[in-house]
A and B are shown apart, each in its own frame.
Chain A
Amino acid sequence: MKRFSVDLLIGAIFAGGMILAVLSSAWTFPDGGEAMDLAARVRPPFANWAHPLGTDPIGRDVLARVVAGGWVSLTVGVLSVLGASIFGVLMGLIAGYFGGVWDMAVMRWADVQLALPFILVAITFTAILGADQYFLILFMIIAQWVQYARVVRASVLSLREREFVQAARAMGLIDLAIIWRHLLPNAFGPVLVLMTLNVANNILLESSLTFLGLGIDPLTPSWGGMLADGRTYLQTAWWVSVFPGIAIMMTVLGLNLLGDWLRDRLDPRGG
């Protein structure tokens, strides 16, 4: 049992630390990392206190940009997962509880989506609709709600036949009350695991699309965008591309550890 708590600790420190740093960036770096100090261009990291992680070739502080750039990644990751899970859970509850035509419609649609090579279509669509974070969020919701719907449907199908649900029905509770009070809380565990892992995944997806110039507006500071900039300076200023990557990795690793820990907690048989 020991390793579970170690996972939790490391995951919480990494993910929590990054999230706190990003959330507090409005106070710690009010300029959002945009201030240019032309007198101090291409400063290497760990050399002086004014710029702990160095500066890029136009004199912007790398630390400030890494912290401020996390905003976009976290916004996209969290909003896309919230949207997809709310819609997906709803559809899964409907499909699982009412069955029949509802079930058929939702699940056939889900099958089509799961078979589509969505990364490919994502690249095409984001290229076309423009680099905009709200399009990206919308796109992730459309692509991912299916996962939640399937998970919820599966648990509802087995819960529906359990005694406590039948008892609730025998007591004359209306469908809505049964779903809300009895099905949803019991089906929520796997959804929470999926949500945690998907925030991590979507942060990765967002940063790689942005890196390719297909995600977020290049003028907004973001981890993927910094890495795209850093790529051109790789020969002269390696630190510009090293630190945003470490920021992504820590956030994603932290969330993955938390997700794994949650899964082990909720399903003691696995792992």
Chain B
Amino acid sequence: MLRFATTRLISLTLSLLAASIVIFAVIEVIPGDPASFMLGLNAEPDTVAALRDQLGLGGSVVTRYLNWVGGMLTGDFGTSYTYRVPVTELILARVWVSLPLAIFALILSTAIAFPVGLIAASYRGKVADLGIMSVTQLGIAVPNFWFAMILVLIFAIKIRWFSAGGFPGWDQGVFVAMKSLTLPAIALALPQASILARIMRSSVLDTLDQDYIRTARAKGLTRSQSITRHALRNAMIPVLTIIGMQFSFLMAGAIIIENVFFLPGLGRLIFQGITQRDLVVVESVVMLLVFAVITVTFVVDIAYAAVDPRLRKRG
């Protein structure tokens, strides 16, 4: 198990290194010089050059790359060209919205999908199964921003349980903050839950066809005992994969939902960064997201090994 974790950790580090090189290279080659963008079309070349130096855009490619990576390792992501504040500050403020939102949505999606998928599998071909399958089909087909708008119409405008958007900040208390994240989290979670429930259903059904379920039944287990005691854990592997992918998506892909609910999250930050050629912000946030995705993959890998003893021996 320790060896498994170590080898995964090494591959995680290598992936991060490769990602940082790719991100840096892409930012290098895309057209649009932030200095001339900031100074406008009529700027003097001397002024542009001076600003480039000031922004740390001078020097060789290697030096700039090393400065960037070295900075990130010490928590210094540079200074935003447009906001003129340290990128670290910008990111920290947003992470405290995006990360809780992603975790909230993931917990909701898992909490919905597990029982729903299990019920569908247990009542395969019956009314409950067919009903669940049609509803989840709808859940996948309908875009989440439409859900978001419907939720706002019902819960914010009609019954006024929640506010229609905005984020009051954590200093207003956990309850108030979480309340403002609830509708966005539901909007994000419903399509994800639909996907996860279907995966859960087919994965459980696959395991129910396995020989060891027949062995369990021959031991005297009832059908539902054989599902909870034997099928469930074996069915977790594909489900874990999807959960990992969903978390990564929820971290970075919440941009539309953030816009619908006016949430100051990472998605909006990166969108603004791109439109304003704020390359320092873009590369830092992308790197951070890559880090999050790779870390989640690492956690999922470890979870695989915890679920399946056959994987523990592999390097």
A and B associate in one complex? no
A residues touching B (Cβ–Cβ < 8 Å)?
A: none
B residues touching A (Cβ–Cβ < 8 Å)?
A: none
